[in-house]
A and B are shown apart, each in its own frame.
Chain A
């Protein structure tokens, strides 16, 4: 379906099919995996969290709806939602086109230490691929 179907090595993965990336400014960018978009089929609606919302790791904070079904998205890390991808919300099919390039929201971790622990608890690309 797209060129980046394989889990990317610079990302970390949750067993619930989200990816997370630690950026240079210390925030975490989050999206769903290619496997998730493939399983959902044509995505038609994204319900993204409100900017400013404080979430815990594992808390449901977004919904991705395909023609077929609605799927809850869980934040892989704790912190505050500082940005959402409005362009993706306006064109939800972009998640199908490239799930790793189409981020959903960004989290500013409460503390760097807690974030490091939470990120370390996520899966690497190979470990995630092995769960599929």
Chain B
């Protein structure tokens, strides 16, 4: 039985074509993936991202624990609501998952992880709680419908019927509203939220007490556009979706989400990186914080060792010059040896095919390489992997 988010019926009502994604029944598109892509670049689109998992990390040692668990340093987070992108590494320096961590207080953080990795992430995170020096005093709670930590509503029958809540944390749903007009349309749908959210900077979140429970509104996303990612109680999700629809926000599926993140040069976990890849090989060196020499995070010694694989591979973008479409796992032939594409597709914004690739160290930006597609060698140019940002081509 596939897993379904609280917005499953909303997707069907909007004409979604549903597919399996990491065990979840999710919309791939609602008619045209390209139109949805353009809606996000030019106006506003929304994605159900409730398959991703929100975790709450709480306890007196929450901060120390996350400084040990993550390659980026949560000590940077001092303003409540501020967020940080980080990799969670294994001891060999490979990426277990990439995630966003939100700071509420030194004793309370929210972490959002990928759908397909949730179970292994939670198991890993809980195992590291007992890690070093007698362990950390903190808990990891899964805020997803159906999880053992989440409250369930139990309807009682009878003349005095009412709902009883089991103990635990509330399950949440998450909706990403993205595009140049995303915030304006969000405020049109929810005018009361404006005061609490209009001052938010990039990678900052604020709580908003709505009539449908407490929401977390974050200025984050995975498209290269401005916008919000909103976390709402699971029971309120369908109503929130409907209000955004009425405000002119276009429903967008996983197909558009993939071409948008590819144009923005963002990694997809499981596609562009996995446990055998270090963040240095995935273009994520900027997320590894080595400033505090006293901080010993998991994977650190492997990353700074001489045998690290990042000495051989680096992350780049490819722009196909010949006609065709780049896909993942195609061989890239360069003067310095061969590399491989990790993601590839057609870029609706550039009207040309693009890819992310791992190439031998030293292949210059701007140089021409060849990509093996079926029985042909097609020409491509090596570019910085951010192809499009805020609606504008960067190459």
Contact = CB atoms under 8 A, between A and B. Distances in A.
Given A41-B255, A42-B32, A67 B345 contact: yes
A44 B255 contact: no
Interface of A: 41-42, 44-45, 47, 63, 65, 67-68, 70
A47 B323 CA distance: 9
Nearest to B32: A42
A41 B29 contact: yes
B361 interface: no
A102 B219 CA distance: 44
B108 interface: no
A65 B345 CA distance: 10
- Please classify the interface of chain B as helix (H, G, I), strand (E, B), loop, or mixed, using the class held by over half of its residues: mixed
Contacts of A44: 325, 346
Interface in B344-363: 345-346, 348, 353
B33 A68 contact: yes
A70 B325 contact: yes
A68 B324 contact: no
Contacts of A67: 33-34, 255, 259, 345-346, 348
B374 interface: yes
Contacts of A42: 32-34
Contacts of B259: 67
A45 B344 CA distance: 14
28 contacts: A41-B28, A41-B32, A41-B33, A41-B255, A42-B32, A42-B33, A42-B34, A44-B325, A44-B346, A45-B323, A45-B324, A45-B325, A45-B353, A47-B324, A63-B374, A65-B324, A65-B325, A65-B346, A67-B33, A67-B34, A67-B259, A67-B345, A67-B346, A67-B348, A68-B28, A68-B255, A70-B325, A70-B327
Interface of B: 28-29, 32-34, 255, 259, 323-325, 327, 345-346, 348, 353, 374
Contacts, number: 33
B377 to A, nearest CB: 14
A59 to B, nearest CB: 14
Given A42-B34, A63-B374, 5 more contacts: A42-B32, A45-B324, A45-B346, A68-B28, A68-B255
Which of A42, A45, A65, A67 has the largest count of B CB atoms less than 10 A from its CB?
Answer: A67
Nearest to B345: A67
Contacts of B325: 44-45, 65, 70
A127 to B, nearest CB: 25
A65 B320 CA distance: 15
A63 to B, nearest CB: 7
Contacts of B29: 41
A104 to B, nearest CB: 16
Nearest to A69: B327
Contacts of A41: 28-29, 32-33, 255
Nearest to B19: A68
6 closest A-B pairs by CB: A44-B346, A65-B325, A42-B34, A67-B346, A45-B325, A67-B33
